[in-house]
Amino acid sequence: MTVLTTRGTFPKWSSRGIFQQDNARPHTARVSQDFLRHVQILPWPARALDLSPIQNVWDPLKRQMPLSHSVHDLKVAIQDLWVHLPQDNTRRLINTIPDRVAACIAPGAVPTLY
């Protein structure tokens, strides 16, 4: 969870917020856990790709990434792509979460279309 290990990433983080993460190995690193100690975490199953709309954001971003020859160039490219993400897409993905959860907990649930 690189974003959590960078100072200033969440300068406006509200103590009323609830953070959702997928429990991937990097997210359980000590530095991430130290940050999250004072944050309310939404319980979430590990490797639940059906429940992680961010995957639908990362994949197109990865395809758009230009070749970078330095860490600085990589950071600039990522920040530029992130800032220019279509917000209507992001809102649409967020709005799919209730349906994703319902599909996963339904009796006889099988992998979803997400």
Q: Is 7 contained in some domain? A: no
Residue 6 lies in a domain: no
Dist. CA 45–CA 22, nearest whole Å: 7
pLDDT tens per residue across span 52-79:
788 788 888 889 999 989 999 999 999 9
Q: Per-residue pLDDT averaged across 81-106, rounded?
A: 86
pTM for the model: 0.53
Q: Is residue 99 part of a domain?
A: yes
Taking the CB of residue 51, how many other CB atoms lie within 10 A of it? 19
What are the tens digits of pLDDT across the range 3-56?
A: 444 445 555 556 667 777 777 777 778 887 887 787 888 777 766 777 778 878
pLDDT score recorded for residue 13: 59
Per the structure, the count of domains in the chain is 1
Domain range for 98 is 25-105
- Decide if 19 is inside a domain: no
The verdict on residue 36 lying in a domain is yes
What Cα–Cα distance (Å) separates residue 7 from each residue in 11, 33, 89, 96?
A: 8, 14, 28, 31
pLDDT at 72: 93
87-100 average pLDDT score: 87
Please check whether residue 61 lies inside any domain of the structure: yes
- Asked if residue 8 is part of any domain, the answer here is no
Average pLDDT over residues 93-101: 86
Asked, for residue 49, whether it belongs to a domain, the answer is yes
